[in-house]
Chains A and B, each alone.
Chain A
Amino acid sequence: MYRYDEFDAAFVMGRTAQFADQVKRRLSGEMTEEQFRPLRLMNGLYLQLHAYMLRIAVPYGTLSGKQMRMFAHIARTYDRGYGHFTTRQNIQFNWPRLKDIPAILEELASVEMHAIQTSGNCIRNVTADHFAGAAADEIIDPRPIAEILRQWSSLHPEFSYLPRKFKIAVTGAPNDRAAIRFHDIGLQAATNAAGDIGWEVWVGGGLGRTPMIGKLINSYVPNEHLLAYLESIMRVYNRYGRRDNKYKARIKILVHEEGLETIKGQVEAEFAEVRGGVLTLPAEEVDRITAYFAPPAFKTQPATKIDVAYQSIIDPAYGRWLDHNINSHREPGYVSVTISLKPVGGAPGDATDKQMDDIADIAERYGFDELRVTHEQNLVLPHVAISDLRAVYEALVATGFADGNTGLITDMICCPGLDFCALANARSIPLAQEISRKFAEPKRQAEIGELKIKISGCINACGHHHVGHIGILGVEKKGGELYQITLGGDATEQAAVGKIIGPGFEAEHVPGAIETLVDTYIARRESADETFIQAYRRLGEAPFKEALYGNA
């Protein structure tokens, strides 16, 4: 993991002191809420429906046990005993008091964490594949470049007042687990003809009101020029991105309206000016940062295989967990374990202080003290010895996070919705809870197989409904809450935006509608190996539409 040196520590302390002063000025009334707003946002502080909400960055989703314990401590001391892990690999606390924020930030700084740029119209926390450094299919660990981007973008003076927020995601594997095509900039590791590893650059993807799939603006940028190239994109966006309408201000709209070729021309012209300049990234610097992410001291393991079938007979719940929550590792004898924060009936992504402490224990004991936050609102133990799996499972059972449902119908992404969020039109957590109760039966879930349901409480799409195999969008219609259902979305390298299937449903009818869709899929699939999304692609929307609305 990255470790702060004196400079990093001094930087975060400086920023903390700066924001403490700004909070003081706000509390004293010297600053109006309007003036305070952009400043607090750049420090991750939102004004929500009921209170301030503090969003803390987990850079590229990687954290240590100690850092997880700090979240537990903050939840216990300053909040209501829980935190909420987000789709951007961050954690949110929903009930802090403004006067406590400087103290919270100071405590975070003591474990090398901060809330810088987790909101505001700036470059946000850079996200990455949650199996980075562990996945068997990885070309390169994306975290060193993500860390370099984190540093370059931190309090960048030119790009602190962009037209709108700006999100960058990085993946080092061909199987995209970081949804890079739905980010303002997505980076995918690529190999050139000489065999050197560089980056495919995708630009202009995004969800929100106007979902767009990112477009390939450059198929190979070497490490050396990556910062110069990204600064060129940022400058073009900062200068020409729309500022007249906040709903049209993201770079996806600029790329869409101007056309990829125009933007590409502007970026290339800018790049020609800055290429080879001060932002040239020396190989030694990449090596130096990469050293922080060196693999842990793996040992030769007695067990290198898991007999899921056998375990399923002895302990079906454990068998399901092995079946769904384990990801193959590049190191023999090791796996990555997904800790599902989606217990049946729970609020997706929430964890209590006790649970966070317990997970920190598990990471320290069995997982080389490393944890990840996933963009699907789960946690990951990236490096677990196969021989420790049973012990890890039992420890997770004790925390209440041992559901073997990763990737299944109850592993939903869900935004905070009307219960917390000032923007929301509809509740989303209660709906997710209803759906998960309806499909609580583990055998049923296993029978349905991989199915991603994503729920947003408004068109801002924080719950990523556009890229759900089944997406649910809460809207306000005639004073009541209504839910639109979309089908066919996909956040991976087979990126697709879901299509609205028909008229919306009232909340109490949504779980039934989902069941109808699932039954239709099971009835029509070619075999149990054909997933929902595959069947949908083959069949089209017609049979699903007919099942939901009849033949009329």
Chain B
Amino acid sequence: MAMPKLAHTPAAQDKLRSLGILALNGMFDEMDAVGVLRYAVSDVLPGDLAIVSSFGADSAVLLHLVAQVDPSMPVYFLQTGKHFTETLDYVETLKKHLGLINVHAIHPSPDDVKRFDPTGNLWETDPDSCCHIRKTEPLEPITEQYGGWVTGRKRFQTRERGVLPHFELTSDDRIKVNPLAYFTDADVNQYKIDHGLPEHPLFGKGYKSIGCAPCTSVVAEGEDPRAGRWRGLNKKECGIHFDFNGAIASPMTAATKPTLWKDGGFIADPFHEWTEADEPATASYKHVPLPVFLANRDAFLVTQHPLGLLVVPGDNIEQVEADLGRFVSVAIKFPAFSDGRGYSTARLLSERYHYANEIRAIGDILQDQIPLMRRCGFNAFVVTHEPTREALIENRLPEVALFYQPVGTTEIPVGTRPFLRRVL
């Protein structure tokens, strides 16, 4: 059975696509993992299917299925640079044992690592961004090459995966195949035993779900097997598995499209919004609202975590003049592009207080305002407006590059008139 033919109107297409997926999901017995995979390879996406494997504690089961159905299916391994050496050994063991002939390692971009994680400690301060540069970004060009993916995710693993079907349609029209969706922990172990699969060297030492070394810890008896991943952090998925039928699609979109424009490019944003759940003692890479900072000033000043400051119209930057050294970033919010108070705030920061770290504009920002913002001292912009993104990327900001008035700290005089300036 091929996928149903799709109609041409978008709404009808959506409906048909989901109906097609529904039909697929009704075709197989819950435990018929081989049947699911074989059908995917032969009928749904012949030659257009690949698998990303972590070569973790449970990976052998899925790879064993792949080896039965098509040992030449491309298998990608995210060589994040942060794996246990035991994992790297295990890759070789499984390749040999299962006869997989098409295994590739994917590496993060050296430029990204240099820029965002020069010390190698990003996992500690901002695991989302670490996953982003080491997993999501490197994988993106690979995923684009295939119509679908085989994953080893299982319903029992976390609450987020509780409704996982055999076949999923992603928001960018790709198909995810989850042959093990209905497998339980016991099923996995039984399968390993039944087929004599080699164990990950760390499995016997209490590691139940194995990812990168720094973010993996031992799971106690009775604990959620993935509880050892990103322990202590409000993080369940690494980013590459998001997008359940679009249900958790937005984090994926956000993660694949960096919105922070800085130093001439869009980059992954290590910062997050301050939420009510955040605590001064543990907050890290958060833009703390100015009143919150003032109310908890001492608590914020004793910690060492990288902190930002959020300034909204009406806030008086004067109140934190003495503490500006505490912040690696100041976010100035523009709730509406017509509210120009932030321009004065930025000038005070850069010109009067000589604040030299990041001053970012967030909120309602149009490309036509960015040149003015730059003059006032902004050096970073969080941009979601698509035409503005394009204009930044294509470097065609509508700018008058000659200025009649001396503003800012970087403009240079031009000609002999006292106040004329141009961009550095």
Query: Which residues of A does B touch, CB under 8 Å?
Result: 5, 7, 10-11, 14-15, 18, 21-22, 25, 30-31, 35, 38-39, 121, 151-163, 235, 238-239, 243, 273, 278-279, 281-282, 285, 288
Q: B105 at the A/B interface (Cβ < 8 Å)?
A: no
Establish whether residues A161 and B338, one from each chain, have CB atoms under 8 Å apart when the complex forms. Answer: yes
Which residues of the other chain, A, contact B387 by a CB distance below 8 angstroms? 25, 30-31
Establish whether residues A160 and B340, one from each chain, have CB atoms under 8 Å apart when the complex forms. Answer: yes
Which of A14, A155, A163 has the most CB atoms of chain B within a 10 A radius of its CB? Answer: A155
Look across to chain A and name the residue whose beta carbon is closest to the beta carbon of B348.
A235
Establish whether residues B406 and A10, one from each chain, have CB atoms under 8 Å apart when the complex forms. Answer: no
Cα A279 to Cα B373 with chains together (Å):
20
A516 → chain B, closest Cβ, in Å?
46
Cβ 8 A contact of B404, one of A11, A38, A160, A239: A11
Establish whether residues A235 and B344, one from each chain, have CB atoms under 8 Å apart when the complex forms. Answer: yes
Which of B339, B345, B405, B406 has the most CB atoms of chain A within a 10 A radius of its CB? Answer: B405
Cβ 8 A contact of A35, one of B339, B366, B403: B366
A461 → chain B, closest Cβ, in Å?
23
Establish whether residues B340 and A162, one from each chain, have CB atoms under 8 Å apart when the complex forms. Answer: yes
Establish whether residues B417 and A279, one from each chain, have CB atoms under 8 Å apart when the complex forms. Answer: no
Cα A114 to Cα B340 with chains together (Å):
24
Given contacts A7-B417, A14-B399, A239-B344, could you give 14 more A-B pairs where the C-beta distance is less than 8 Å? A121-B340, A152-B405, A152-B419, A153-B405, A154-B404, A154-B405, A157-B372, A157-B403, A158-B340, A161-B369, A238-B341, A239-B345, A243-B313, A288-B417
B372 → chain A, closest Cβ, in Å?
4
B392 → chain A, closest Cβ, in Å?
15
B91 → chain A, closest Cβ, in Å?
49
Establish whether residues A160 and B400, one from each chain, have CB atoms under 8 Å apart when the complex forms. Answer: no
Establish whether residues A157 and B376, one from each chain, have CB atoms under 8 Å apart when the complex forms. Answer: yes
Q: B398 at the A/B interface (Cβ < 8 Å)?
A: yes
Cα A11 to Cα B404 with chains together (Å):
9
Q: B166 at the A/B interface (Cβ < 8 Å)?
A: no
Which residues of the other chain, B, contact A279 by a CB distance below 8 angstroms? 405-406, 419
Which residues of the other chain, A, contact B345 by a CB distance below 8 angstroms? 239
Establish whether residues A7 and B402, one from each chain, have CB atoms under 8 Å apart when the complex forms. Answer: yes
Which residues of the other chain, B, contact A22 by a CB distance below 8 angstroms? 368, 398
Cα A30 to Cα B388 with chains together (Å):
10
Q: B204 at the A/B interface (Cβ < 8 Å)?
A: no
Q: B420 at the A/B interface (Cβ < 8 Å)?
A: yes
Which residues of the other chain, A, contact B419 by a CB distance below 8 angstroms? 151-152, 279, 285
A410 → chain B, closest Cβ, in Å?
41
Cα A463 to Cα B155 with chains together (Å):
73
Cα A35 to Cα B336 with chains together (Å):
11
Which of B338, B340, B352, B403 has the most CB atoms of chain A within a 10 A radius of its CB? Answer: B340
A-B contact pairs, 10 of them (CB 8 A): A7-B414, A39-B368, A156-B404, A156-B407, A157-B371, A158-B376, A161-B339, A161-B369, A239-B341, A282-B418
Which residues of the other chain, A, contact B369 by a CB distance below 8 angstroms? 161
Establish whether residues B344 and A11, one from each chain, have CB atoms under 8 Å apart when the complex forms. Answer: no
Establish whether residues A7 and B400, one from each chain, have CB atoms under 8 Å apart when the complex forms. Answer: no
Cα A7 to Cα B421 with chains together (Å):
10
CB interface residues, B 362-419, toward A, < 8 Å: 366, 368-369, 371-373, 375-376, 387, 398-407, 414-415, 417-419
Q: B203 at the A/B interface (Cβ < 8 Å)?
A: no
Establish whether residues B343 and A157, one from each chain, have CB atoms under 8 Å apart when the complex forms. Answer: yes
Look across to chain B and name the residue whose beta carbon is closest to the beta carbon of A150.
B404
Establish whether residues B375 and A157, one from each chain, have CB atoms under 8 Å apart when the complex forms. Answer: yes
Establish whether residues B402 and A243, one from each chain, have CB atoms under 8 Å apart when the complex forms. Answer: no
Look across to chain A and name the residue whose beta carbon is closest to the beta carbon of B396.
A21
Query: Which residues of B does A touch, CB under 8 Å?
Result: 313, 337-341, 343-345, 347, 352, 366, 368-369, 371-373, 375-376, 387, 398-407, 414-415, 417-420
A468 → chain B, closest Cβ, in Å?
33
A475 → chain B, closest Cβ, in Å?
28
Cβ 8 A contact of B399, one of A18, A38, A235: A18
Establish whether residues B337 and A161, one from each chain, have CB atoms under 8 Å apart when the complex forms. Answer: yes
Cα A25 to Cα B386 with chains together (Å):
13
Look across to chain B and name the residue whose beta carbon is closest to the beta carbon of A15.
B400
Cα A155 to Cα B402 with chains together (Å):
10
Cα A167 to Cα B89 with chains together (Å):
75
Cα A412 to Cα B345 with chains together (Å):
45
Cα A319 to Cα B67 with chains together (Å):
110
Establish whether residues A14 and B402, one from each chain, have CB atoms under 8 Å apart when the complex forms. Answer: yes
Which residues of the other chain, B, contact A159 by a CB distance below 8 angstroms? 340, 343
Which residues of the other chain, B, contact A154 by a CB distance below 8 angstroms? 404-405
- Answer whether A285 and B418 are a contact pair too, CB < 8 Å, given A155-B400, A161-B338: yes
Establish whether residues A161 and B402, one from each chain, have CB atoms under 8 Å apart when the complex forms. Answer: no
Which residues of the other chain, A, contact B339 by a CB distance below 8 angstroms? 161, 243
Establish whether residues B343 and A161, one from each chain, have CB atoms under 8 Å apart when the complex forms. Answer: yes
Cβ 8 A contact of B347, one of A38, A158, A160, A162: A158
Cα A10 to Cα B420 with chains together (Å):
12
Look across to chain B and name the residue whose beta carbon is closest to the beta carbon of A16.
B400
Which residues of the other chain, B, contact A155 by a CB distance below 8 angstroms? 372, 400, 403-404
Which of A15, A18, A30, A158 has the most CB atoms of chain B within a 10 A radius of its CB? Answer: A158
Which of A7, A30, A31 has the most CB atoms of chain B within a 10 A radius of its CB? Answer: A7
Which of A18, A30, A121, A161 has the most CB atoms of chain B within a 10 A radius of its CB? Answer: A161
Look across to chain A and name the residue whose beta carbon is closest to the beta carbon of B398.
A18
B7 → chain A, closest Cβ, in Å?
27
Q: Would you list the 6 A-B pairs with minimal beta carbon distance, nearest first?
A: A161-B340, A157-B372, A157-B375, A14-B400, A18-B398, A151-B404
Establish whether residues A7 and B420, one from each chain, have CB atoms under 8 Å apart when the complex forms. Answer: yes
Establish whether residues A238 and B343, one from each chain, have CB atoms under 8 Å apart when the complex forms. Answer: yes
- Answer whether A238 and B401 are a contact pair too, CB < 8 Å, given A152-B419, A157-B376: no
B391 → chain A, closest Cβ, in Å?
9
Cβ 8 A contact of B400, one of A5, A18, A152, A278: A18
Cβ 8 A contact of B352, one of A151, A273, A278: A273
Cα A506 to Cα B157 with chains together (Å):
80
Cβ 8 A contact of A121, one of B338, B352, B403, B407: B338
Establish whether residues B340 and A21, one from each chain, have CB atoms under 8 Å apart when the complex forms. Answer: no
Cβ 8 A contact of A285, one of B344, B399, B406, B417: B417
Look across to chain A and name the residue whose beta carbon is closest to the beta carbon of B338.
A161
Which residues of the other chain, A, contact B400 by a CB distance below 8 angstroms? 11, 14-15, 18, 155
Which residues of the other chain, A, contact B399 by a CB distance below 8 angstroms? 14, 18
Establish whether residues A7 and B343, one from each chain, have CB atoms under 8 Å apart when the complex forms. Answer: no
Cα A21 to Cα B368 with chains together (Å):
11
Establish whether residues B398 and A7, one from each chain, have CB atoms under 8 Å apart when the complex forms. Answer: no
Look across to chain A and name the residue whose beta carbon is closest to the beta carbon of B342.
A161
Cα A281 to Cα B404 with chains together (Å):
13
Establish whether residues A38 and B337, one from each chain, have CB atoms under 8 Å apart when the complex forms. Answer: yes
- Answer whether A14 and B415 are a contact pair too, CB < 8 Å, given A238-B341, A279-B406: no
Which residues of the other chain, B, contact A161 by a CB distance below 8 angstroms? 337-340, 343, 369
Cα A21 to Cα B371 with chains together (Å):
15
A340 → chain B, closest Cβ, in Å?
36
Cα A21 to Cα B394 with chains together (Å):
15
